[in-house]
Structure 1
């Protein structure tokens, strides 16, 4: 392993407002609904809406149904704090809940550059998740409907454990900010995965080569041993992604699992975020 880059201050973006809290990215405001942000913390409803991570399954906007990307979700805590994930950026807001009506206040979002498909979904979600929405909960499924008839269909998510979950890398962190994964000339991002096993190892793909390594975990840290990997050379963006991940997966790092999102941070300020996929076989 070569020498690390000079230290930077890390702040990542997305793991439950990890990526809002961790990403020192700038934010932009949405239109929102007048007065909702000020009323903010009022939650008065018998529906099981709050403190549940709702995984977005699809959007229907202007009669067009769009399947949601992996990692897209909405969560509202008991004080009305909103954490929405688009599969690329995260959206924060305040909301009031009165019976079956959710009023979304002024929104702010991280500003990670997204692939075209994710950017289109994000734009549609931003438009649908706004103002007054009617909520319907049935069989652990939530549907939000706007006054215009647009809908967001969601289902309740189960938290993901660190061990045994297939994690897909979704963002990188350097120089104190989160950013999207490297892209090729067609705009396609690199793909990397990792799975921690009960025997104290981690394995997966670094974006190019398959790898495995010892991984000793505690409640807040992971200590990685020497990486063993295949030795092939790959076109971009695979090699660039692999290089950056190797910089993080070296020695002791801190980690946080929030619901279905994982964030790793190395001592030098580099890091990455990952989203849970399906349990490893």
Structure 2
């Protein structure tokens, strides 16, 4: 009888500890990290290659939403949409520099803000080496003249 009472007490204690552990679990934003419990989950930078990047701005001006997208291949080549026309370009990545070769694109006539975006992107992407930097989900490409393209990594649903 004493063994059954001890077993019942042990099971009750184990259940209470399990429930306490469930109630105090860490949320996804405060998971255990190398900085200790309760620290924010670190932001992981999106990879430069094999990510679809949606252009959000050129030289600080917002780009028409979702119109221009591109993906960089592991060898540094690029393909995508400049806002109106599809494009492809050979390229290479050496350290912080991305260099694209001649841009080949379809030839639809593009006017207005989309045409302006396309011309700006073509000039920047084809204008010589670009310094690249990824912070979280944001890519910044900077030309030697200081002009910039900003792009966001597309979500898995896009």
Q: TM-score, normalized by length of structure 1?
A: 0.40
Three-state SS of the structure 1 residue aligned to 2:90 is strand
Give the gaps of 5 or more residues in structure 1: 1-43, 54-157, 183-188
Q: Which has a greater percent of helix?
A: 2
The residue aligned with 2:58 is 172
Q: Is the 8 A contact 2:53 2:70 kept in 1?
A: yes
Counterpart for residue 253 of structure 1: 130
* Aligned counterpart in structure 2 of residue 49 of structure 1, from 18, 30, 40: 40
Match of 2:100 among 221, 224, 235: 224
Question: Shift in Å at residue 234 of structure 1?
Answer: 2.6
* TM-score, normalization by structure 2: 0.69
Instruction: Output the CA distance in 2 between the equivalents of 1:271 and 1:207.
Output: 16
Matched, 1:204 2:85: no
**1:213-259 Cα shifts (integer Å, max 9, x gaps):** 01210220001100000001134321110011112102211110112
Q: Retained in 1: the 8 A contact 2:49–2:76? A: no
Distance of 2:91 and 2:61 partners within structure 1: 25
Number of equivalenced pairs = 121
Moved over 4 A (4+): none
**Residue 129 of structure 2 aligns to a residue in which SS?**
strand
Matches within 5 A, 1:120-135: none
Tell me, yes or no, if structure 1 residue 242 matches structure 2 residue 122: no
Task: Tell me if structure 2 keeps the 8 A contact 1:190–1:241.
Answer: no
Which runs of 5 or more residues in structure 2 are unaligned? 1-34
Pairwise CA RMSD of aligned residues?
Answer: 2.1
Match of 1:272 in 2: 149
